[in-house]
């Protein structure tokens, strides 16, 4: 469905076969014709075309600011932007520009990127379906009756539909990878502390990571240098290394994680096994103990941090929140400190368990246990489980957030009904470059095989 | 009062002018004659003499295990020891040896150190006066009517009284430095994560640090290599460097911290100012904002972590705890997770504030705002403040725990009534060696001056 990658746009701009204005106009036209996706919540054509025109001028004068000068990139609505309002798709915030850019937006803007509007998201990123938003739900470009997943659902839809080749997302329990998986594109969650969270409205500050969604794996390599590295405005990035986009990897050692707590549908499991066989990696299989305990720890930390962050605004403007988000935030207040401490300790235990799995380049899971659910379906059944659609979306994804690991979702095929299936690869802490190299090796081998 | 340093004992053993058996016998004799201090809660003469005899044998055969082979060192009752019971001076634990050594005890034992009994402490280290203990209160060797401070009060009394030249302590809000200051000896709290907590019964795991008390600054340099460095049994020491005991320092830049929240008695303030003048360091003076907020954060983290750790034993054996400790632990359960998170964030703010103070080698505070209080006095008045004796003991000390900084207390003089006054120096995170060097420079200059 997606027709052109960011890498192809970069090349075409460099070769002069297209202009930034052409790319912007085409993207705007495509956005208009695909309004039914509800991917964008703020889009100002004149402002976009003016940015593109300026990029064309620079390039004409040999003063292009970077390889990316002139490419249009869409921004999730929880990144602060000078020019567009930022509401995290919640009615609790005013529809006015904050007048400042998140660090990553500022990085892209200084590189000449055309800031292409704001994308729809699950309200406050506090949900993984993209069905709760002040602007209404997002629809999956592969089938408008199905959800995109979330919370970066608008970014997923915009890239998968070929409106833009890349978009920004953020990920607390899978919010980059879930829509990437459900929409059949690529999504990357960096290691915790590797990418600046400054100016990205938080959900849960010890779990949140900003990350890109894009049309190809190579595109992610172009984008991650704008995410990673020390930012004086985000103290958790104090020791963050810049992203080195020159790392490749040989035949990787993979561990396919399966077993109790890691159930998935028959078709998803078959797609993963087929991809692992086809790509010819070195694969062994194992389980993870205590999945239920880890999941509870993730939930406790998420709800408690979200409640702590939202307490002032919730006190001031409770009716601006949807009922379900408000209920989550109220519940988070009830958690006892000693329970939160237990969750933080269990979290440390997960990192220990992953550290002793032995020699591996990446841990493999499906991105989702099922294909993109039909809009309105409240429950999902797979592998003997019956869970809410919300829990099905985050089913595997939260593990990387709880452990702070880098994690990528790549598309590996389509279900019989024409919905994408994604494979997730988790790397070691701060080995983001190696993970991208491993994913590249797999992605290339799967494509050769096609 | 203290007559011989660890360093002198090391030299004498090396030169053969004394034997380990002589040192052990003399220490046992002195311990017996000073039983009124109530410094020891477990002491087995036959076992101690057997260890000393083995050390003498080794040395005779030229097989001494280390410089410290044969020196007697006392152990705070919250370090697990193979040979002695470990109860943290609480009746909630049985009077039986645990059969295993804390990492630091094991390190000393492998070096041939004579493990010289267990020292009295504030029950569970949950208090800073040493007046609550299943074995009764500890008394100050300088005046038996005064307290030692705690929670490592037995270790402080044993060293100050010259029974042993060195003892182990642990420090969550000053528990090494408080008795060092109140008893007129040297105490060192390493940076958080620098010294192994394995086998030291925790009070609050994100604040706790084990540390030595000793008769001289040089003694601390002999002891810290047994404390610091990576221990696979304590994951927080993962990146800990071994202690380098060869670092010295030139004339240091000091900041004398004063102002709101840092009040002290007139005599203590005069002693600090006099010492700073006499030692001729480069001193400037400044305050710290928001002391009350930081103190609340320290208390919240302390009580909540202690409650989380003690919950199982408290449920099982509530009557084994003193009423006051039980009340603390019950109160800790009531703290909301969102409040704990706020405390954790305020904690991060303190580190930021200290980081921007500019160029300094050490931050200076008195160890205590008053000299060792009279036993039974519930309140202390100083600098316009009236606070509980408990809060007076931790008045300055908790800052280093909340910020995770290395911190040392050195004796700088005596009050008119003959009670010691200590000066505290805080260093930068993991710059423990530099801090010891700075303290050494000051200590030498003060001694020359005498």
CA contacts within 13 A on the Cβ side of B83 = 19
| Residue where the block lists tokens 């493990």 | B115
User: In this model, does residue B437 exceed pLDDT 70?
Assistant: yes
Structure tokens at A357: 């799995």
Residue A436 included in any domain: no
Domain of residue B313 covers: 1-450
How far is Cα A382 from Cα A364, in angstroms, rounded to an integer?
18
Domains contained in chain A, number: 1
> How large is the ipTM?
0.84
Residues of A in contact with B235 (CB under 8 A): 348, 352
Residues of B in contact with A348 (CB under 8 A): 235
Residue B332 touches partner A, C-beta closer than 8 Å:
yes
Cβ atoms of B146 and B153 within 8 Å: the answer is no
How far is Cα A219 from Cα A225, in angstroms, rounded to an integer?
11
Catalytic residues of B: 76, 151, 175
User: Which percentage of chain A shows pLDDT scores above 70?
Assistant: 99
Q: What is residue B2's predicted lDDT score, i.e. its pLDDT?
A: 54
Nearest to B338 among A332, A338, A352 (CB): A332
Give the phi and the psi of residue A286 in degrees, each rounded to 5.
-155, 170
Q: What is residue B448's predicted lDDT score, i.e. its pLDDT?
A: 80
User: Which percentage of chain B shows pLDDT scores above 70?
Assistant: 99
What mean pLDDT is predicted for residues A259-283? 97
Nearest CA in chain A to B304: A338
Residue A299 included in any domain: no
What mean pLDDT is predicted for residues A394-406? 98
Q: In this predicted model, what pLDDT tens digit does every residue of B355-395 receive, in sequence order? A: 888 899 999 999 999 999 999 999 999 999 999 999 999 99
Catalytic member of A19, A76, A133, A155: A76
Residues of A in contact with B332 (CB under 8 A): 337-338
Q: What is residue A2's predicted lDDT score, i.e. its pLDDT?
A: 54
What mean pLDDT is predicted for residues B173-201? 98
Q: What is residue B352's predicted lDDT score, i.e. its pLDDT?
A: 86
Residue A323 included in any domain: no
Number of Cβ within 10 Å of residue A334's Cβ equals: 13
Q: A447: which residues sit within 8 A by CB, 6+ positions away? A: none
Q: In this predicted model, what pLDDT tens digit does every residue of B94-108 receive, in sequence order? A: 999 989 999 999 999
Q: What is the mean pLDDT of chain B?
A: 96
Helix, coil or strand: residue B9: helix
How far is Cα B133 from Cα B122, in angstroms, rounded to an integer?
5
**CA distances to A138, A148, A174, A386 from A151, in Å:** 10, 9, 8, 22
What mean pLDDT is predicted for residues A415-436? 97
User: In this model, does residue A1 exceed pLDDT 70?
Assistant: no
Q: What is residue B449's predicted lDDT score, i.e. its pLDDT?
A: 57
Any catalytic annotation for residue A66? no
pLDDT band (50, 70, 90) for residue B450: low
Q: Tell which A residues from 243 to 302 touch B, by Cβ distance under 8 Å.
A: 300
User: In this model, does residue A182 exceed pLDDT 70?
Assistant: yes
Q: What is residue B357's predicted lDDT score, i.e. its pLDDT?
A: 85
- Provide the terminal-to-terminal Cα distance of chain B, rounded to the nearest Å: 16
Q: What is the mean pLDDT of chain A?
A: 96
Beta carbons of A304 and B334 less than 8 Å apart: no
Q: A251: which residues sit within 8 A by CB, 6+ positions away? A: A280, A281, A282, A441
How far is Cα B61 from Cα B314, in angstroms, rounded to an integer?
50
Q: In this predicted model, what pLDDT tens digit does every residue of B217-227 receive, in sequence order? A: 999 999 999 99
Q: In this predicted model, what pLDDT tens digit does every residue of B136-150 receive, in sequence order? A: 999 999 999 999 999
pLDDT band (50, 70, 90) for residue A107: very high
What mean pLDDT is predicted for residues A312-335? 95
Any catalytic annotation for residue A133? no
User: In this model, does residue B309 exceed pLDDT 80?
Assistant: yes
The CATH code of the domain that includes B343 is: 3.90.1300.10
Nearest CA in chain A to B232: A352
Residue A395 included in any domain: no
Give chain B's radius of gyration (CA, Å): 20
Q: What is residue B83's predicted lDDT score, i.e. its pLDDT?
A: 95
Residue A235 touches partner B, C-beta closer than 8 Å:
yes
How far is Cα B447 from Cα B438, in angstroms, rounded to an integer?
14
**Which element (helix H / strand E) includes B388?**
strand B385-388
Helix, coil or strand: residue B92: coil
User: In this model, does residue B348 exceed pLDDT 80?
Assistant: yes
Residue B335 touches partner A, C-beta closer than 8 Å:
yes
What mean pLDDT is predicted for residues B409-414? 98
CA distance B16 to chain A (A): 49
Catalytic member of A131, A155, A175, A191: A175
Residues of A in contact with B340 (CB under 8 A): 337, 340-341
Beta carbons of A338 and B333 less than 8 Å apart: yes
Beta carbons of A348 and B235 less than 8 Å apart: yes
How far is Cα A262 from Cα A440, in angstroms, rounded to an integer?
25
Q: What is residue B3's predicted lDDT score, i.e. its pLDDT?
A: 74
**CA distances to B207, B294, B331, B410 from B191, in Å:** 10, 18, 29, 17
């Amino acid at each position: 469905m997606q027709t052109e990658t960011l890498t192809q746009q970069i090349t075409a701009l460099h070769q002069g076969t297209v202009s930034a204005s052409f790319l912007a106009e085409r993207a705007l036209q495509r956005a208009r014709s695909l309004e039914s996706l509800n991917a964008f919540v703020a889009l100002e054509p004149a402002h976009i075309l003016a940015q593109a025109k300026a990029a064309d001028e620079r390039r004409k004068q040999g003063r292009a600011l970077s390889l990316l000068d002139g490419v249009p990139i869409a921004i999730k609505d929880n990144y602060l932007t000078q020019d567009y309002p930022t509401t995290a798709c919640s009615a609790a915030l005013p529809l006015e520009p904050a007048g400042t850019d998140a660090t990553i937006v500022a990085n892209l803007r200084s590189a000449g990127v055309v800031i292409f509007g704001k994308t729809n998201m699950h309200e406050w990123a506090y949900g993984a379906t993209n069905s709760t938003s002040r602007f209404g739900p997002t629809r999956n470009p592969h089938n408008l009756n199905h959800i995109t997943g979330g919370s970066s659902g608008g970014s997923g839809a915009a890239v998968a539909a070929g409106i833009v080749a890349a978009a920004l997302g953020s990920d607390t329990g899978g919010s980059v990878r879930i829509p990437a998986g459900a929409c059949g594109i690529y999504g990357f969650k960096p290691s915790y502390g590797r990418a600046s969270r400054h100016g990205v409205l938080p959900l849960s500050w010890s779990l949140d990571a900003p990350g890109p969604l894009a049309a190809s794996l190579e595109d992610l390599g172009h984008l991650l240098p704008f995410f990673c590295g020390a930012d004086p405005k985000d103290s958790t990035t104090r020791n963050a290394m810049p992203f080195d986009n020159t790392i490749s990897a040989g035949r990787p050692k993979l561990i396919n994680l399966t077993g109790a707590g890691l159930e998935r549908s028959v078709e998803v499991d078959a797609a993963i096994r087929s991809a692992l066989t086809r790509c010819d990696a070195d694969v062994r299989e194992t389980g993870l103990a205590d999945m239920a305990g880890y999941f509870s720890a993730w939930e406790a930390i998420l709800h408690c941090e979200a409640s702590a962050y939202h307490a002032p605004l919730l006190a001031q403007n409770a009716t601006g929140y949807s009922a379900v988000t408000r209920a989550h935030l109220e519940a988070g207040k009830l958690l006892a400190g000693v329970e939160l401490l237990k969750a933080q300790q269990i979290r440390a235990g997960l990192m220990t368990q992953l550290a002793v799995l032995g020699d591996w380049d990446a841990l493999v899971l499906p991105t989702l246990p099922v294909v993109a659910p039909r809009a309105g379906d409240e429950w999902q059944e797979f592998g003997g489980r019956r869970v809410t659609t919300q829990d099905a979306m985050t089913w595997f994804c939260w593990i990387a957030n709880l452990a702070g690991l880098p994690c990528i979702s790549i598309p590996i095929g389509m279900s019989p009904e024409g919905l994408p299936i994604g494979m997730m690869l988790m790397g070691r802490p701060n080995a983001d470059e190696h993970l991208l190299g491993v994913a590249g090796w797999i992605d290339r081998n799967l494509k050769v095989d096609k």
